[in-house]
Amino acid sequence: MNNDLNNGITLTIDVKKNRIRIYKSTIHALGDPGAVELLINPCELKAAIRAVHNEVNNYHAHKIRQNRLTSDASYEIYSKSFILEVCSLVSNIDFNASYRMKGAVLSQPNCAVFDLKTLHRIED
C-alpha cells in the first residue's frame, strides 16, 4: 500500500444490527462521493469501501445522504450481506458484538481498504 493517503483509518461493524459505521473523515478522504460500494476480497481477507461518484444501481452501492453527514462522527450503512460475508471469513465472531478493523485510504482506485486480520472486538 505505497500510495496511502491516510493511515489510521478504521471501520466499525455491529454484527447484531448489521450496521457498518464509516467515519466521516474516511468519506471526506474519498472525495465526498455520492455513493460508496462495500466490497470483500475473500482471498486476501480484505474489505473495501470504494467511492462512486456516478449513480450506480447494484446492491453493493449505498447512496451517501449529505444531510446525514452533519451530525456525529460517523455515517451508518446497514448491510446484512456484507456483515454475513465478513463473519464467514473470520472465525470466532460473536453475533452480539461490535468489531473494529484498521485500514488505509488509497488514491487509486479511490477506496479505503481494511484488513480483516485486524478485526478486534470492541468492549462494551
How is the chain split into domains, by residue range? 4-122
Cα distances (Å, whole numbers) of residue 83 to 13, 96, 119: 7, 12, 12
Give the pLDDT of residue 1: 40
Contact 25, 46 (CB under 8 A): no
Contact 86, 24 (CB under 8 A): no
Q: pLDDT for 23-78, tens place per residue?
A: 888 888 888 888 899 999 999 999 999 998 776 666 667 888 776 666 677 888 99
Contact 48, 41 (CB under 8 A): yes
pTM (2 decimals)? 0.83
d(CA 81, CA 54): 23
Give the pLDDT of residue 69: 62
